[in-house]
Structure 1
């Protein structure tokens, strides 16, 4: 309640246990809590759902703007270097493997194509009368992640999930960055794709 008072309502109450993260289908998230009574009720519900161990595993967050949930990732492949990935968040995208990829460093044309390549891209552009989201902000974030991975070779991976892209701006709700020692390279030249 103190955290919600500091952040300001509305807030979200979420379980932080690793097996519950990004799994709203398990009921471990309560959204749009507009007052103390609603927050306390949500806490009791989650406490009962999680078997009474919820107190150490709950977090209060300010509500993010409504929009389309997306996933941005960058990983380093030993054969080709860093790869930037984009897709929409959620089970359908995961099940269908609806993710697009580009090599780092990515250009503005690369990231514009990246977000349009996934099959679910119409959701970003106002599908069935919905308001289009801020693809300019999304493209800017993709360029920044690409630049970060290119500038800091110790970064082995970046995972931003979910990134909620709203009609105006976006919010990164989850971020993980893995840092590792630089891999030993046996070649002396720059990485390049070869065509066969």
Structure 2
């Protein structure tokens, strides 16, 4: 899902599918509670970059050629006004050691919970710090990073996994590994 699809409202298709799956689960187990969910789109497929204006001014005054890293904005920088609509924000969650930092753009598709903006940013930032392989903040939230690694591992192990599988056919996992952790 890219920015154009989110703008067209395609994020709502995913929301409807997730709502359907949750409803089926609740019905199957006889549960009456309907959880509230916030749907957020994440993408980095854009050409937007931000620079620290104080560093840029210093570079122009001194006529020096600073490396791109020194011009980067600091981790934790949020851009949520002026160039974005009310349901979008850019967020730099990590420090770049080489080159220019590329912020992630988050689009709030639906907020049933009613988060305050600062609370939502705090959650996103904490999710970027949960990657088990590093102590540093990661460029994307852990659930997205781990899902990408798992998909890569699955395709490496079984390249034709998704080609032969029918859309409605459930994926069968061998009973010996169902309850064992899968390290990625």
Please report the TM-score for the alignment, with normalisation by the length of structure 1.
0.23
Which structure carries more strand by proportion? 1
**Bigger Rg, which one:** 2
Please report the TM-score for the alignment, with normalisation by the length of structure 2.
0.24
